[in-house]
Structure 1
Amino acid sequence: MTITAPPAAVFRDLHIGGEWRPGSGGGRFPVLDPSDGSTIAEFAIATEEDCDAAVAAAAAALPAWSATAPRVRSEILRRAWEILTAESDVLAELMVRENGKSWADAKAEAGYATEFFRWFAEEAVRIPGDWRLSPAGDKRIVVTHRPIGVSLLITPWNFPAAMATRKLAPALAAGCTTVLKPARETPLTAAYLVDALQRAGVPDGVVNLVTPVPTGPAVARMLAAEPVRKLSFTGSTEVGRELLKACADRIVNTSMELGGNAPLIVLPGADLDQAVEGAFLAKMRNGGSACTSANRFYVHDSLHDAFVERMAARLEAMRTGPGLDRGNELGALVSVGERDKVAGLVDTATAEGAAVRVGGTASEHGAFYAPTLLTGVAHGSTINTTEIFGPVTAVVRFSDVDEVVAQANDSEYGLIAYVFGEERAAMQVATRLDVGMVAVNRGVVSDPAAPFGGTKQSGLGREGADEGILEFLETQYIAVTA
């Protein structure tokens, strides 16, 4: 098929009812390049009236879209995958410019994000159902699934493409219509994805894009609107709690992927080369700005010193700088504020007794923070109990496996954990961890075909896999006389 890139003008406006339009109030907010602080776009501010219009457009489009044949929905998602696959460099550059991440991270995200359209194109035609005779023999039990309805999708800045496609793809495959509210830091990527879906054939009103400022009142207003039946949110646990309260009055169905504080355990007998490389990936992917990022490193006495030396060398060799320079392995954090937050955590860690082995410095210009390794970190210290969201490796030494399992579980979060060790020992520890996902002897777990989600205060529900589409469906039971 012929691919034509959309005009740049669409990247700065709202998308409501199939039309790109400025906000009704005329206001705009700056989108900054965190590598140098320059303004790369002025994006439209959505008023409450714009948000109302987006919900109304989604509600008006719902009957026809939910009645569309699964194969038709599937082919549209497949075309979106084709478009974005062909334009992956454009998508990656947008993410580098507004998010600050390295080119390698942006390209990896572009590929990962695009795969959700292909995966759910396949799932759209495989929505399950059931037909069986009741045990009493008096009726047939028919179980089917219906689209849940208008869905509000709220995404964060750290993976601006992947978090949007991971929600849009299953919602559209299920037959739901959507209102996408991206992070204020990264609206350009979201707008590009919406345009790609429009070019793929998504009907007017099925996908809408709003960027309200301030966010809270507008989101609360949309959640209070009668047509909105689903909220899918990725972000902090603190905001998630407030959104759950807002959903309570109308019992809005919710899926939430919230904060993390991932432990990474290096057991005695682990392959040190494998552990260091896996730990490096688990920590430094996306510059550490990931809810899945390894946050608490627990390394056994027998391997601690060697692990620290090899990890230090790996981090010191990293090349840091603007993501558009494709030789740089680590880009900027999303803002100077995020940079300063990470720097503050490192300062607090050293005040509490940790030692800086590598890094520990912030840039004078741009939102860069050096790859950092801390040793002598205590379990329960501030940096050990806080989601760092930056390129800082904080190592705790341990000697007892039972004790380290207890320490790994000593958190209100339960998204993911990493375990390195001999296979049998690692699997035994993995089954004892109170988390939704465990990576054994590897540093990355994310895959569109796998159920992504956590336990405890790391969220509700699952994204990806066949579970992902069920989050946007209601189960309906019909009794038929036998």
Structure 2
Amino acid sequence: MGVALCMGPYNYPLNETFTTLIPALIMGNTVVFKPAKFGVLLIRPLLEAFRDSFPAGVINVIYGRGRETVSALMASGKIDVFAFIGTHKGAADLKKLHPRPHRLRAALGLDAKNPGIVLPQVDLDNAVEEAVTGALSFNGQRCTALKILFVHETVLDDFLERLAARVNALKPGMPWEPGVALTPLPEPGKTDYLHAVLEDAVAKGARVINAGGGESHQTFFQPAVLSPVDSSMRVYQEEQFGPLVPVVPYRDLQEVIDYVTASDYGQQLSIFGNDPAQVGRLVDAFVNQVGRININAQCQRGPDSYPFNGRKNSAEGTLSVHDALRVFSIRTLVATRFNEANKELVDRIIRDRQSSFLTTDYIF
């Protein structure tokens, strides 16, 4: 296709970037690689490998603030494929700069507000365990994290008690220490944002359920379980991308269906329950609202094994080993009318190796 611009996120700065960079190379494109804003030193050992493995100009690494570097690249019109993982606003702003947007193909992984839905008939032990790891692995700084929990009022108190205890049992520390589950946050100012969202919820009627929730020290923020959360609160609407766990009590399943239907986001969701009628009803309600439905399991990535996509503002295109190769290529067909003259012509092109494209040496 031409030149691919690959931009990965800081939370998975190597893995997610190479999910697009490698397929782009395999399909014959050159790549401009913009490292994420954090973790840039991670790329250092790869520079020599790039230099030794590819001709000059095949992989190009550009550093600096995105607005100063990537904006100029897009405005040049010389980017043919845009592979980006970040916010939908950032992606939209960059795409608008391209002078020929109809020629720009995009593969985008964007924001998410993945809900976890706890039904009245449920294995609470499993639901709590999956909710804790789903909401707080990597401090909740994953697009695939559970960002909001809807819990039926008949199991709410029991769920909150177990959830608070499980959250407070998580070990804080530095990433290289054994058994650590909670670490400092990488973004300057992130704790200030989380405090503002928490205070907004508390001012509008939510409580911090777990002891010490919301306390912070420099860049460390103790996870906070918030309930009851409702639609008036910022944490109900915004993707917090951090260790805040909002819990919304509900009575009627239609309340949850309405939330998912009205949401601007549609990456994934999780359903926790063991009533076939209720689970089946929700699957049918949500199958055209999100890209993946998880039953009795947390939301998770997996483009190496399963299609990784989304609806609404959560994605454009699908990433998987197979789909990524398609994203970075366009199928071309050479055709002719079947007669003896054309058959002889094609036979001679192949036999005399007059074309590297028309060949029987390999089959795609």
Are 1:442 and 2:293 an aligned pair? no
Q: 1:196 to 1:285 in 2, by over 3 A?
A: farther
Distance 1:151 1:176 in 2: 6
Corresponding position of 1:181: 34
Q: Secondary structure at the match of 2:199?
A: helix
2:84 corresponds to which of 226, 233, 236: 233
Q: Secondary structure at the match of 1:480?
A: coil
Distance 1:256 1:329 in 2: 29
Are 1:469 and 2:325 an aligned pair? yes
Q: 1:404 to 1:204 in 2, by over 3 A?
A: same
Give 1:226 deviation, angstroms: 4.9
Q: Secondary structure at the match of 1:172?
A: helix
Corresponding position of 2:253: 401
Are 1:222 and 2:73 an aligned pair? yes
Q: 1:400 to 1:192 in 2, by over 3 A?
A: farther
**Could you tell me whether the CA contact under 8 Å between 1:379 and 1:396 is conserved in 2?**
no
Distance 1:224 1:230 in 2: 13
Q: Deviations over 1:11-54 (max 9, x none)?
A: xxxxxxxxxxxxxxxxxxxxxxxxxxxxxxxxxxxxxxxxxxxx
Q: Deviations over 1:185-229 (max 9, x none)?
A: 221223344545556x3444322211123x213212212335421
Distance 2:205 2:177 in 1: 37
Corresponding position of 2:129: 277
Q: Deviations over 1:392-444 (max 9, x none)?
A: 11100111112211112221111111111127332431332211122211114
Q: 1:193 to 1:164 in 2, by over 3 A?
A: farther
**Could you tell me whether the CA contact under 8 Å between 1:321 and 1:368 is conserved in 2?**
no
AA paired with 2:192?
D
2:111 corresponds to which of 259, 264, 274: 259
Corresponding position of 2:226: 374
1:59-74 alignment to 2 at 5 Å?
Answer: none
Give 1:386 deviation, angstroms: 0.4
TM-score (norm 1): 0.65
AA paired with 1:335?
E
Distance 2:61 2:280 in 1: 43
Q: Secondary structure at the match of 1:180?
A: strand
AA paired with 1:270?
V
**Could you tell me whether the CA contact under 8 Å between 1:415 and 1:436 is conserved in 2?**
yes
Give 1:302 deviation, angstroms: 2.0
**Could you tell me whether the CA contact under 8 Å between 2:121 and 2:275 is conserved in 1?**
no
Distance 2:44 2:152 in 1: 47
Bigger radius of gyration, 1 or 2?
2
Q: 1:361 to 1:237 in 2, by over 3 A?
A: same
AA paired with 1:344?
A
Distance 2:174 2:190 in 1: 16
AA paired with 1:190?
I
Give 1:351 deviation, angstroms: 0.9
Q: Deviations over 1:294-351 (max 9, x none)?
A: 1111011222111111111110001112212233211111123112111211111111
Give 1:288 deviation, angstroms: 0.4
Distance 1:197 1:239 in 2: 28
Distance 2:19 2:167 in 1: 31
Q: 1:247 to 1:431 in 2, by over 3 A?
A: farther
AA paired with 2:184?
A
Computed over aligned residues only, the root mean square deviation of the Cα atoms, in angstroms, reads 1.9
1:303-382 alignment to 2 at 5 Å?
Answer: 303-358=155-210, 359-365=212-218, 367-382=219-234
Distance 2:317 2:172 in 1: 36
AA paired with 1:312?
A
Q: Secondary structure at the match of 1:151?
A: strand
Further displaced range: 371-380 or 228-237: 371-380
Distance 2:64 2:209 in 1: 43
TM-score (norm 2): 0.85
Give 1:248 deviation, angstroms: 5.3
Q: 1:187 to 1:380 in 2, by over 3 A?
A: same
AA paired with 1:231?
F
Distance 1:343 1:360 in 2: 11
Distance 2:51 2:155 in 1: 53
AA paired with 2:108?
M
Gaps of 5+ in 2: 339-364
**Identity of paired residues, percent?**
30
Are 1:209 and 2:66 an aligned pair? no
Q: Deviations over 1:342-367 (max 9, x none)?
A: 121111111111100124334333x1
What is the number of equivalent residue pairs in this alignment? 332
Q: 1:320 to 1:238 in 2, by over 3 A?
A: same
1:237-252 alignment to 2 at 5 Å?
Answer: 237-247=88-98, 249-251=100-102, 252=104
Distance 2:191 2:226 in 1: 17
AA paired with 2:93?
E
Distance 2:322 2:27 in 1: 11
